[in-house]
């Protein structure tokens, strides 16, 4: 089957090349719905990076005509994103949108996120699941996750000088320069990768913003358990300590170094 999202040599995407990346693990039952909701012609290529799924995620992705990259061993959520972003940079992306393939986030908003970046309004866009408390809980977000999200987001906004509605979204869009400048290869291979990345973006002077994204919590949607959520929260607080230690010059952290370990050819 031909790949409707693949880049054809010599072709130039209008107003810049957009690549959607999907870090995947056991997403076979939700992948098709996620892809179907992405507005036609809003992206030039969809890339799925499979982190050793035990289901038929890879087969479904290939059937849909996606570009598929398979890890030989499980690297974790952060490690998966690193592969996603390396590929996007090498493939000439001007804009990159990261979407979880578990159908938890509404991918219809992809062109909205990219357009805000194209207009120069911001460099990083997050999809906020928390427009109102009622909507978040009605969408199935567990109460303890809602409370933890609100508490962490408030702390992060204060510590990083931002005003975001949801620091922990799995829907993110970036201008190419963000991925070129931020040394994301130095980040954790686990879930705290996301918190490190945003702190790095702030430290580098990029403009962050968000848009409301309807969210769905259901049995097939991926979610970390309470123990891992608690660990993630503590590690996120640790990132803020690193950020301020680095900013005050009392604790130089490698993740806030300007030196990248990965260079685009």
Residue 82: CATH number of its domain: 3.90.550.10
Dihedral angle, C-alpha 254, 257, 262, 265, nearest 10 °:
-170
Between 62-66, 159-163, 232-236, 255-259, the lowest mean confidence (pLDDT) is in 255-259
**Structural domain contains residue 265:** no
Specify whether the CB–CB gap between 224 and 233 falls below 8 A: no
Q: Is residue 42 part of a domain?
A: yes
The 10 Å CB-count burial string (b at 16+, else e) for 222-241 is: beeeeeebeebbebbeebbe
Whether 263 is covered by a domain: the verdict is: no
Asked if the structure places residue 167 within a domain, the reply is yes
The per-residue pLDDT for 259 is 58
19-54 burial, b if ≥16 CB within 10 A, otherwise e? bbbbbbbbbbbbbbebbeebeeebbbbbbbbbbebe
Q: Which residue has the higher pLDDT, 14 or 209?
A: 209
The per-residue pLDDT for 136 is: 66
Number of domains in the chain: 1
Domain assignment of residue 261, yes or no: no
The count of other CB atoms within 10 Å of the CB of residue 259 is 7
Which 3 state secondary structure label does DSSP give 209?
strand
> Does residue 211 sit in helix, strand or coil?
strand
Helix (H) or strand (E) holding 76: none
pLDDT over 60 at 253, yes or no: yes
The DSSP-derived string for 106-126 is -GGGHHHHHHHHHTTS-SEEE
Question: Which domain does 147 fall in, by range?
Answer: 18-251
Query: By percentage, how much of the chain surpasses pLDDT 90?
Result: 69
Give the number of residues written for the chain: 265
Measure the CA–CA gap between 106 and 37, rounded to whole angstroms: 7
Q: Map residue 254 onto helix, strand or coil.
A: helix
Angle (nearest 5°) at CA 76 between 254 and 71: 110
Q: What is the pLDDT of residues 18-34, one digit of tens each?
A: 999 999 999 999 999 99
Is 88 inside a domain boundary? yes
Q: Give domain status of residue 73, yes or no.
A: yes
23 within some domain: yes
Q: Say what the pLDDT of residue 224 is.
A: 65
pLDDT in tens, 83-137: 999 999 999 999 999 999 999 899 999 999 999 999 999 999 999 877 766 676 7
| Distance separating alpha carbons of residues 231 and 64, to the nearest angstrom | 36
192-220 pLDDT, tens digit per residue, is 999 999 999 999 999 999 999 887 776 65
């Amino acid at each position: 089957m031909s790949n409707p999202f693949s880049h054809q040599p010599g072709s130039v995407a209008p107003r810049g090349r957009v690549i959607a990346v999907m870090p995947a693990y056991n997403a076979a039952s939700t992948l098709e719905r996620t892809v179907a909701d992405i507005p036609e012609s809003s992206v030039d290529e969809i890339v799925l990076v499979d982190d050793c799924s035990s289901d038929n995620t890879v087969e479904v992705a290939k059937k849909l005509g996606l570009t598929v990259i398979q890890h030989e061993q499980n690297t974790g959520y952060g490690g998966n994103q690193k592969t996603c972003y390396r590929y996007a940079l090498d493939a000439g992306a001007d804009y990159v949108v990261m979407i979880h393939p578990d159908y938890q986030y509404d991918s219809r908003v992809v062109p909205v996120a990219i357009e805000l970046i194209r207009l120069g309004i911001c460099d990083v866009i997050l999809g906020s699941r928390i427009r109102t408390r009622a909507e978040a809980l009605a969408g199935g977000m567990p109460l303890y996750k809602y409370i933890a999200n609100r508490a962490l987001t408030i702390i992060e906004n204060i510590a990083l000088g931002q005003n975001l509605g949801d620091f922990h979204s799995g829907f993110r869009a970036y201008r190419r320069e963000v991925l070129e400048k931020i040394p994301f290869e130095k980040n954790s291979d686990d879930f705290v990768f996301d918190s490190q990345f945003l702190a790095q973006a702030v430290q580098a002077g990029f403009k962050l913003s968000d848009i409301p994204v309807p969210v769905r919590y259901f049995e097939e949607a991926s979610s970390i358990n309470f123990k891992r959520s608690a660990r993630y929260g503590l590690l996120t607080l640790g990132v803020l300590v690193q950020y301020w230690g680095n900013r005050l010059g009392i604790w130089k952290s490698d993740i806030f170094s300007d030196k990248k370990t990965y260079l685009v050819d």
